[in-house]
Amino acid sequence: MPTRLPESEGRGFAVTACVVIQSLWMLAAIAIGLCIHGGQIDPYDRIVFQALCGAVFFGYLFSLISWRIWTGSWFDAYTVFLTTANLFNGGQAMLEFWGFNPRGMLDGQFPHERIVDAVLLVAICLIAMHTGAMLACMRHWRKVAGPAAESAGGPTLEEVRIVGWVLLLLSFPCSAYVFSSTVGAALSEGYLALYSQPQDVGVQAIPRILAAFLTPAALFVLAGSQDSRMGRWASAAVMVFNAVAQLTLGFRFFAMMPLVAYVMVWNRTIKPLPRIPLIAVALFFVVAVFPLIRQTRDAGSKRSVESMSGALSGIENPAAATLYEMGGTLMVPAYTMELIPATKNYDYGEGYFHAVFRLFPNLFWDLHPSVVYGSPSHWLIWATNPWLASKGGSFGFSFIAEAYLSFGSLGAPCVVGLIGFFVANLTLWAVRRPGLIEAKLAVVASFISFFAFFAREELAFIMRPLVWYSLGPYLMLKLLAYARRQFAPLPRRTMIAEAAA
């Protein structure tokens, strides 16, 4: 990750071209949507549908390239969220564009016009998200943070490492306990059994809360371990433990995303890792590990080497199967557009309010008001698949569908654009604002390891983790730096000068 945005003298034309193209791209998507809903364009036209799917694919490519031109970076928190947002919400559209979708969009569960509406909404919202990101880049134009901009009284690398070790000592035993208490159900009854277990509340939930600090702990230890080999090895071992544990339970996202955040911090604070081996490892996960976990995680105690190898060999195109499954999140906007406002009115931001209100603990009520209000994912699964809902299952949700649920087709792109502005602004804050870059990178990496799941979830699901596991460690670090400044002995010359005064 570079430490400065490109200067206008060197890349002024390319930057201007990106702004113009992005503006035209946004206007064209809106115009196509208006023409489809106005009857000027036939949604059943195959060429029209292929163009919409191509807009998702080429929009993703242009977003990556233009971000690279603006920031000089291919791999940071924003590109991670950009990728997850596109793959989860537009993965099947990309496969459809390239002809690798023999099963059809969403297995033919929806009428064609509903799929067109969902793909159109996703395409416009993803373009709006990157438009917000480019506005954030313009806000940070020429702002540079480096060693000269860091305040002398700010956190030090040693303090970053101390915070990481403290969190690691608290979280690792709890993480091992939580894993040991859940792995039995996963191995004996399958992945779905994890959702039917009773949820811990009150004091009983403390081990699970502390266990979630494992990833931020490892990231902070790594960020402060430029001169500590033990810190680097310990943090890497923790990440491997977490990945193996999550894959054993069947949680692919929670195994992979902390590793992505870890590599992001390593590349910036230690040294860049070789790209070809990283790409090879990523392809191995996509082609072998993810399809294998998907095919066998519901088998429970029936899992064996033979069954796992047979399941993997039965997949014709593992990479396409992985992208098809990820792209299944498109059903959430499709269902939401089908049910809203036909069976339920827009909530006009009330859902976002309750998601933020969940930050406050339940101190005054028998049941937290936000829990009483419910969540979009809970509403959707009971409205569409009561059997799966009764088993504790869920489709998840989508940040695009949640924006539509609040403000409809016109308001959703605006909300998603603000989300893009926020993520890009936070990404640039880590390296363009005064302060210890390593500390801010650890915060941003911790943030994105949870926030990337927002691509296929609702805000309420990630609100507490974002504040507790990202801002929490950063506040600990700031308090530690403040205590050092307050209680550190004054230099001898300063003491003599004060005595003479």
**Token pair belonging to 493:** 């010359």
The pLDDT score that the predictor gives to residue 494 is 46
Q: What is the mean pLDDT of residues 470-484?
A: 85
Phi-psi region of 392 (alpha: psi -120 to 50; beta: other; left: phi over 0): left
Each domain of the chain, given as residue ranges in start order, spans 8-139, 147-487
Helix (H) and strand (E) counts in the chain: 24, 0
Does the structure show a pLDDT above 70 at 297?
no
Q: Residue 145: which pLDDT band, with cuts at 50, 70 and 90? A: very low
Average pLDDT, the chain: 79
- Residue entry with tokens 């990283």: 278
| CA distances, 227 to each of 3, 140, 158, 476 (Å) | 21, 31, 10, 22
**pLDDT > 90 in the chain, percent:** 21
What would the 3-class secondary structure string for 331-350 be? HHHHHHHHHCCCCCCCCCCH
The residues near 127 (Cβ < 8 Å, ≥ 6 apart) are 22, 25, 26, 29, 55, 59, 413
- Provide the token pair at 9: 């003298």
**Which range among 127-136, 162-171, 236-245, 479-488 shows the weakest confidence by mean pLDDT?**
479-488
Residue 151's Cβ-side half-sphere holds a number of Cα atoms within 13 Å equal to: 11
Strand, coil or helix: 374: coil
Q: What average pLDDT does range 310-314 have in this prediction?
A: 54
Position 81 scores a pLDDT of 94
Q: Predicted confidence band at 402 (pLDDT cuts at 50, 70, 90)?
A: very high
Per 3-state DSSP, what percentage of the chain is helix, strand, and coil (rounded to 5)? 75, 0, 25
Instruction: Assign residue 197 a region (left: φ > 0; alpha: ψ between -120 and 50; beta: otherwise).
Output: beta
In Å, what is the CA distance from 280 to each residue of 77, 104, 268, 427? 21, 29, 20, 26
Q: Within a 13 Å sphere around the CA of 354, how many CA atoms are in the beta-carbon half?
A: 18
Which secondary-structure segment (H or E) carries 402? Answer: helix 399-432
C-alpha span between 89 and 123 (Å, rounded): 9
Can you tell me which residue has the tokens 């490519």? 61
DSSP E strands in 214-334: the ranges are none
Summarize pLDDT for 368-378 with one digit per residue, the tens: 666 666 788 88
The pTM assigned to this predicted structure is 0.85
Which of 22-26, 251-255, 375-379 bottoms out in mean pLDDT, i.e. has the lowest?
A: 22-26
Q: Are 71 and 142 in contact (CB under 8 A)?
A: no
Block residue for tokens 């081996």: 277
